[in-house]
Amino acid sequence: MNRPLVLILCTGNSCRSHLAEGILRAAAGDLIEVASAGSKPAGYVHPFAIRAMQEIGIDISQHTSKHMNEFLKRPVETVITVCGNADQACPMFPGQVNRYHWGFDDPAHATGSESENLSVFRRVRDEIRCVFEAYAAGRSNEAASLTQRLRQYT
């Protein structure tokens, strides 16, 4: 059975969308398929994003920066934008049922020492984690409720 695709978009697809993709994939397990892309992909995943995720036991080191147009021919159930520019540039995708915008600061714009920059990545990661783990829990509860209702009829 095909799992519904949740696509997370930001402009550069180098930080926020990868943080959200990794967190949502870990939290939702096999319930949904999760991917991320950008309206103007940077072509890399930010090293501090990879480090911040390693600190919470999630490996995004194999993620790649992708353009959102790569998903225009795939059924996308839910689109979640994590920055304002992507929200404005977001097209409709085939099969799209839901669209959410949850904006977060761009940690790539942090200035200061390496330690200060990493601190910003951690803060944004933790904000994203709070929102996307709650979203995954809601999806899980919804699936469990549907399964229970279906059992009543069998």
Contact assessment for residue 17 and residue 82, using Cβ atoms and an 8 Å cutoff: yes
5, 19, 90, 110: the catalytic one is 90
Helix (H, G, I), strand (E, B) or coil at 99: strand
**Given the residues 83, 108, 110, 120, the one annotated as active site:** 83
Dihedrals phi, psi of 37, to nearest 5 degrees: -160, 175
Please say if 15 is a catalytic residue: no
Which residues lie across from 99 on neighbouring strands? 79
Catalytic residue among 10, 23, 24, 27: 10
The letter for the amino acid at 13 is N
Q: Which residues are catalytic?
A: 10, 83, 90
